[in-house]
Amino acid sequence: MRLNKRVDVYLVWGGLFLVASACVLAVCFASEPQAEKSTSEKSGGNSKCYVCHASLKTEDITTIHLDMDITCDQCHGPSIEHMHDEMLMTKPDLLFGRAEVQKMCSNPMCHKPGGDRSVYGRQDHMDHEAVKAFLKKWLHRVRPNGRFITSKAVCTDCHGTHNIVKDVATESQEQSTNWITAFNGRDLTGWRPSGDISWEVKHGRLVAAVKPNGKGGTLWTDAVYEDYLLSVTFRATWPIHAGIWLRAAGTERGPRVEIFENHKASAFTGSLWVPGKGLALTNLRQDLVDRQSWNTISVKVRGKRFQVWLNGEEVGAIWVSGPAKGNIGLHIETHPRYKAAELYVREVLIQKLGEQEKADTKSGTKPAASKLEK
């Protein structure tokens, strides 16, 4: 009887020893890959972002934060859908409008404000002489990043550009073949102005401003397009009434995507206006446009069908009769309310639709879903 009890005790202690050993081994083996992953993330934490945004490798905000092991996704989220969207229509998980920047940066884990203040300010900078020198040079001037420096400038106005621009040099050969960069960022080559609007290129941006007593005008592409995908990235000074003409052939005009706020009609940027018919497609969501930053209007023109997106959100699609092909035009209206309006365009990308897709449309066959329609 005693022998059996002794054997039971040995068995229990032996079992406990085996369990403890297994736990130790599991922790050891689990920690090793984790350590490797941490080292890998530290050495190339932004590598997935650099695929499209190569300019971030030398951008001040990005490089300084990376030195402190703060990667893009810690502020903007994993952004998986954005990362896999070659058309750059899907935004990162987290974006911050200009009015939100200071609040986002001002927290105990990053830039802790001094005293009882809730927002990190000029007095919190460690190198006050550098701040004075910077303001002496740039106060009330426009920086190379396109930001106008005032006494109320936010972090991203002064530190680097932090405007995400797709680097054409990083595109694959296939992408560069399919997509046409209609605006070269240097001059108005490939475009012709009409009307009383001043069109010029400043700091790589196309800028449209209303002339005194002007009547509005349009900047037209020299090239004529039939069926295509279009992506226009812009920002504006509000209030404004601007738009993008689609397939305009002389006096015969196709529809126009509106950049405006028409509270009377409860219509906002991304609505589609058709000459002689008015608003044929209405965007009812005012929140889709960022009044403080850049926005992207995307359009798919195929046959008589026009499909519109604003910042990755589909506004809708309509069927419209009109020219089978025509020019694309960047348009701005004039009105006493819009006398200070300016339109800034950073990028105009065009992709002609393939012959197979056009053949499918004519035969009535439903084409495979494009990235725009997913």
pLDDT at residue 83 in the model: 75
Rounded Cα–Cα distance for residues 2 and 9 (Å):
11
Among candidates 348, 262, 235, 248, which has minimal Cα distance to 298?
A: 348
CA distances from 215 to 244, 262, 332, 364 (A): 17, 19, 9, 43
Q: What is the pLDDT of residue 26?
A: 47
Span 41-60, mean pLDDT?
A: 71
Per DSSP, the three-state class of 248 is strand
Q: Which helix (H) or strand (E) holds 94?
A: none
CA distance 270 to 234: 12
List, as one string, the DSSP characters of 38-73. Answer: HHHHHHSTTHHHHTT-GGGGS-HHHHHHHHTT--HH
Task: Locate the DSSP E strands across the chain.
Answer: 179-181, 191-195, 197-202, 205-210, 217-221, 228-237, 242-248, 256-259, 261-262, 267-274, 278-283, 295-302, 305-310, 313-319, 327-332, 342-352
- Please determine, for residue 356, whether its predicted confidence score (pLDDT) is greater than 50: no
Q: How far apart are CA 358 and CA 366, in angstroms?
A: 10
Dihedral sign from CA coordinates of 186, 191, 192, 196: negative
Reported confidence tier of residue 8, pLDDT bands at 50, 70, 90: low
Please state, in angstroms and as integers, the Cα–Cα distance from residue 38 to each residue in 49, 57, 69, 78, 235, following that order: 18, 20, 11, 16, 38
Residue 359 has which token pair?
């053949």
Average pLDDT estimate for 79-102:
72
Cβ atoms of 327 and 194 closer than 8 Å: no
Residue 39 has pLDDT above 60, yes or no: no
Q: Mean pLDDT across the chain, nearest whole number?
A: 77
Q: Are 273 and 258 in contact (CB under 8 A)?
A: yes
Confidence of residue 228 (pLDDT cuts 50, 70, 90): very high
DSSP 13: H
Closest to 224 measured CA to CA, from 348, 350, 345: 350
- Which of 90-99, 244-253, 282-291 is least confident? 90-99
> Which band of pLDDT confidence, cut at 50, 70 and 90, is reported for residue 248?
very high
Q: Which residue has the higher pLDDT, 242 or 26?
A: 242
- The C-alpha atoms of residue 131 and residue 126 are separated, in whole angstroms, by 9
- How far is CA 366 from each of CA 227, 246, 286, 315, 359, rounded to the nearest angstrom? 16, 23, 32, 21, 10
Decide: 331 and 216 in contact? Cβ < 8 Å: yes
Residue with more model confidence, 263 or 267: 267
- Where is pLDDT greater, at 60 or 314? 314
Q: List residues bridging with 349 in a β-sheet.
A: 181, 231
Give the pLDDT band (50/70/90) at residue 191. Answer: very high
Of 171, 165, 141, nearest to 153 (Cα)? Answer: 141
DSSP symbol at 214: -
Take residue 300 and report the two structure tokens written for it.
């798919």
pLDDT band at residue 372 under the 50/70/90 scheme: very low
pLDDT attached to residue 206:
94
Q: Is the pTM of this model over 0.75?
A: no
> Residue 159 pLDDT more than 70?
yes
* CA–CA gap between residue 115 and residue 124 (Å, rounded): 10
